[in-house]
Chains A and B, each alone.
Chain A
Amino acid sequence: MGAQDKSDIETWLGYLEDVLTPLPASEREDIVVEARAHLEERIEAGLSASSALAGFGKAEHYARAFLDDHKLNTALDSKRSMTMLKTLISVAGQSLIATVGLIGFLVFGVTTLAAIACILLKIARPEMVGLWIAPDVFVLGAATTRPAAPEMLGNWVYVVLAGLVFFDALLARFSLVLALKGLKGQADRE
């Protein structure tokens, strides 16, 4: 291998290693060593460094596939809503799936918080929270002025609101997981 070829390969591999920094060290080393072995074997077979490197493309583009996969796997494996949310936010601008997932999370997240707020308000001001139903009235939750309808639930509203908290929180999390799995499937197909 000529000095120039060696220098080109080392520069590319060095840059690859730098951009792969977010990966665990063993995984990063594996990718770099494998690329090095491939490149050096191609050059030994008579290819120039630029021809051998052409198949890999720019180091940052080559690294992108590994980094995206790692980011999505890490978020999904963490099983933590906050980690999943941060990952989705980081890609929301570039992906419709991520944006839809975030909207789902926000909608169900806000209704979860609203239901929690209603439970707390019911404890402090029981008359302001309930379920009022009449032919032209349906109010579930908090009402600043008492609706012109009979209140149907009494203290059973706690059960209904707790159910809402549970299911909306579940749906908010489901939105995150579904969006991340959708992104992963999309990345797999690209």
Chain B
Amino acid sequence: MAPSTEKTPESRRTQMYKGVLELALMSLLQDGAQYGLKILDVLHEEAGLDLSEGTLYPLLHRLEKAGMIKADWRHEEGASHPRKYYALTAAGATELKAQGDIWLDMTDRLNAFLKRGK
């Protein structure tokens, strides 16, 4: 059977994103509270993660329910709308540390493996 050509670079990237979105999101919130639109833009510009609103907000909602992040509405000067800011909780910081350690260990090993013999 010929290898499948259905997977585009985008679909491969999306599949790989799913595992790292939560980690990247919690890492961003470690730097301080942020609101959805800003999170989306920072993850896109700084982490290269092209996630959509349809992915981000349900993820934020789920992490909030799980107690990893907390949210509060803020009326900021200069902003035309109230913004819902998300911040990392203590439980979220612990989870971030655990996930981060696993990720760094895994990527170090995988990088070394992929570069073997090159």
Query: Are B37's CB and A41's CB within 8 A?
Result: yes
* CB-defined contacts of A73 to chain B, threshold 8 Å: 65
Determine whether A5 belongs to the interface, using a CB cutoff of 8 Å to chain B: no
What is the chain B residue whose CB lies nearest that of A39? Answer: B53
**Total CB contacts across the A-B interface at under 8 A:** 57
Selected contact of B18 from candidates A30, A33, A61, A190, CB within 8 Å: A190
- A37 close to B81 (CB less than 8 A): yes
Report chain B residues within 8 Å CB of A65: 54, 58, 61-62
Shortest distance between the CB of B8 and any CB in chain A (Å): 18
Bitwise, A174-190 to B at CB < 8 A (1) or not (0) is 00000000000000111
Residue ID in chain A nearest B81 by CB atoms = A37
- Cα of A61 to Cα of B54 in the assembled complex, Å: 8
Interface size on B, residues (CB 8 A): 19
* Contacts A31-B57, A189-B18 given; does A37 touch B52 at CB 8 Å: no
Residue B70 interfacial (CB < 8 Å): no
User: Known contacts A41-B37, A56-B53, A62-B54; is A36 also within 8 Å of B81 by CB?
Assistant: yes
Q: Is A136 interfacial (CB 8 A cutoff)? A: no
Partner of B36, one of A34, A57, A66: A34
Q: Shortest beta-carbon distance, B59 to chain A, in Å?
A: 8
Min CB distance B87 to A, Å, is 15
Q: Is A35 an interface residue (CB 8 A)?
A: yes
Within 8 A of B (CB), among A78-125: none
B98 → A minimal CB distance (Å): 16
- The one of B36, B61, B82, B83 that contacts A69, using a Cβ cutoff of 8 Å: B61
CB pair B57 A34 closer than 8 Å: yes
A30-B84, A38-B36 known; A66+B54 contact, CB < 8 A: no
- CB-CB contacts of A152-190 with B at 8 A, as 1s and 0s? 000000000000000000000000000000000000111
Assembled-state Cα–Cα distance A69/B83 (Å): 23
Q: A38-B57, A55-B53 are in contact. List 11 more A-B contacts (CB 8 A).
A: A30-B84, A34-B36, A37-B83, A38-B36, A40-B80, A55-B40, A56-B52, A62-B58, A65-B61, A69-B58, A69-B62
